[in-house]
Each structure stands twice: as C-alpha cells, then as structure tokens.
Structure 1
C-alpha cells in the first residue's frame, strides 16, 4: 500500500487520542459505503460506537451513484468507496478534504454460484456455456462490475457471454440475482461469499488479480464532514488494528 500523505499520517497515539472521545460529546457521522463493504462496515461501526460513543448512519450502494449524489449536495460526511478514483475526483473537484483519502482494503473478485459444483476452481465454467445468465454489477457505477468485464475479455469470451449478461445496479443487487436463482452465476465480492462465522453457500472461483485491474478501495473525508469530530474519528478508527482485523476476516487484501 502506498504511503499516506504527510497531512494524514496518524501514529498509534494519534489514533488513540481521536478515539478517546468523551461520550458526553458523542455525535453522529453519515457515511456512504460501497455495497461490497456493507457487511464489514456494520461490524466496524459497532466497534467504533463502543470505543467512542459516536453513532454511524450508513447508506450502502454503488460508488458511482454516491459520486453523483455528492455532486448534487447529498449530506454524506464520509465516503467509503469501492475504488480509489472516486475519492481522488472528489478531492480535485473540491467536494472532499485534500490529504484525507487512504486505502482501507484491496477488493477480491469471485465468480460465484449459489449451487454447489457449478463453479470450478479455475473458472472454466465461463467457457463451457453451461449456464443461461451471468450477473455482473453495472461497470459504470461499480468497480467490481468493471473488473468482471475485464476478466471476460481477458478470457476471450466477450462475444459468447455478452448476450447472457444480467446487470445489477450494485454488487449487492448482483449478489441477489445469483442468490435467488435469477442468474446461474455472477461476479461478486469475496466478502459477500465468505462471511466470518457462516458456512460458504454454493461454489466459487477466486479470480486471479492478474486478470483485472487492482480493486483498490479508498475512504475519504467529505467537505460536509470537515468540521465533524465524529467523521474524523471514524476515518481514524478505520485504520486501527481492530478495524483491519474485521476487514481481513472478510477476505479483503491490503
């Protein structure tokens, strides 16, 4: 992971100071979180509230849609994105605080079916044609969807698979397409399939990172949260050992 900008480097002591907020001064922070990270974020929010007294109000969805909403004045204070480009654009366009972005996770793409034995450990099912519908997230809104299309092209299967594609607005909707059987298989996030404490449903192929661009997921402080101590404390907590343990337990790299 690249070094964080000097302005945003935080030592363990600095993080501890930010988190040691007097509960009498506890506040709220409104967060837009990428759909693939909704599960881990819920657990992280619980730990954050226990540590600081601050409460987290989250909305989960596609990063591209949140970008448009932020430009239109949506009152989000923190963006926990599914890519690193959106936070950069928001900073460049004056909607986020310069120096506040950092990579909190590296996303892992999987090809998944809700049924056992459908997806093999090499992803050969893609070329077999033995499926009717393949679900992907909207590549214009969701980085995991863009990565999925890169995998299909890398395998030389664009012409064969394109007629079978079903597009979800977000990676969460894509997962639902497969889970409900509306699609035989789909490209989703590993964090949706491998959930700590729960058995894995169906079958999946962990896609080699060499087949698509790295899914570097960044968080950023938005201008609406620039004066909110709870927003700054949340971003500090997201870099803490407790949060990193949750992130890694859900299968993210980084």
Structure 2
C-alpha cells in the first residue's frame, strides 16, 4: 500500500500543478502538423489543446465578434498584424511559425507534370482554388495564374473552396481534376504521398508567411505561454519542417 501511494504521488507531481486548456484557431493548411504538435505538447505538459481548423479570414471575423480563442495560427502575416493594430492581441506576441509553399496537385498520377504545363494545355474540367478573400493560399493561387497570364483563361473552371482544407477535398474526391493546395497537405518528409504535383516556384506568388499571435483573452494564461514556448522549440520545428514548411 505504501509503495502504491508513492507511485501515485510520483505520477501526480510529474504533471503540471495547474493543467489547463489552450484554445487555438488554426489555419486549415496547418491541420496535419498541428495535430502532431498538439499531441506532443499535451504529452509533455499535461495541458489540453482545443484546436479549431478553418479559413484565416473567417477566424478573423469570429475573433472580432468575441470567439473564445487564446491563440491564432494564421495562414498569413496580415491578419495577426491587423489584430495587433486593433488591440485584440497580447502585446509583443506575434511571430512567424512557418512559411507555406503552394502546390498544383491532382489525386491522379500523370495529370500534373513537373513544370505545371497542364495549366497551359487546359486538359482539365475543373480547377480547385481556395477563396482568395479568405484563404492566403487561394490568394497565392490567383497571383500565380496572374503571373502566368492564365487567370482570365481558366477562371470559369474554378471550383472555389471556403478554405484550403475544402479545396484539398475537392481534388481528393475527384470533384476537380486538379487544384492549388498547400504542400503540407500532399507531401510528407518531402515525398509526394499520392497523385501528381508541381511545386509552384516561389517567385510566382507573395511569400506565405504564417504568423501566430496570442489573443487578448490568452495573454495571462500559463498554458498559453507554455504552448507558445513549445511551438518555438526544436521539437515543434522538426515537425513543421517534416510537413514541407520553411522556417
């Protein structure tokens, strides 16, 4: 009985004295790495991560309307900066956690060539693109087509996703034969998981700097500070890199 009591005491003191919850609004493109990061953070700290995934533009509107998020992991740097200017954040907490990469992808092998020339031939029925007004990856896709002088040509073939997660589903399900998605959705360890893809050259679109910021309601929470520290640490960085993001 004494030994059991010691074991229970050791287990108790190994966890934080005040385990808490962290509510995080996460850009849809960062879904896969966030799930891995959250699991490791919970294991290491005992804190619980409540993650919501969606379009950065929608999260902005929800936050301004009082949504109870502690942290925003955006798909851009403009939205966190805007929230800073509007005094909706904890001061001096904004930082870049990842740099996104755009990919033209088809769920079928041989559809998208290594140079993206399929965009010039037009041998596709529908082209999935995230809403450029809500999703930075959608804006990057539009910028790419503009640089290639193809936006007007193919706009009638657009299937528009509310966010990059829905855009991916359009392509994965076959509703669109190809589409612009985040590299993190279709690559793992720099290896394409399925289908065919063209890594869009970075000079064709504005850098997708993905910033994080602590929101006003999370400013005084130790669990929030712990999550930010973890996200900036080596373990999280290794996970982020493994999904094809730059740092």
Pairwise TM-score range, normalised by the shorter structure: over 0.9
**1:116 partnered with 2:103:** no
The answer for the alignment partner of 1:53 in structure 2 is: 46
TM-score (norm 1): 0.90
1:195 offset after TM fit, Å? Answer: 2.9
SS at match of 2:17: helix
The answer for the alignment partner of 1:41 in structure 2 is: 34
1:24 offset after TM fit, Å? Answer: 2.4
Which residue of 174, 186, 204 maps to 1:181?
174
Question: Once superposed, which parts of structure 1, at least 4 consecutive aligned residues long, lie more than 6 Å away?
Answer: none
SS at match of 1:25: coil
Gaps of 5+ in 2: 1-13
In structure 2, distance between residues paired with 1:202 and 1:167? 21
The answer for the alignment partner of 1:95 in structure 2 is: 88
Gaps of 5+ in 1: 1-20
1:47 offset after TM fit, Å? Answer: 1.0
**1:242 partnered with 2:235:** yes
**1:80 partnered with 2:67:** no
In structure 1, distance between residues paired with 2:203 and 2:192? 28
In structure 1, distance between residues paired with 2:114 and 2:189? 21
In structure 2, distance between residues paired with 1:222 and 1:188? 28
The answer for the alignment partner of 1:134 in structure 2 is: 127
TM-score (norm 2): 0.92
Pair member with larger Rg: 2
The answer for the alignment partner of 1:226 in structure 2 is: 219
In structure 1, distance between residues paired with 2:189 and 2:66? 36
1:198 offset after TM fit, Å? Answer: 8.5
The answer for the alignment partner of 2:199 in structure 1 is: 206
Computed over aligned residues only, the root mean square deviation of the Cα atoms, in angstroms, reads 1.6
In structure 2, distance between residues paired with 1:208 and 1:97? 35
The answer for the alignment partner of 1:8 in structure 2 is: none
CA spacing shift, 1:197–1:146, aligned 2, 3 Å = closer
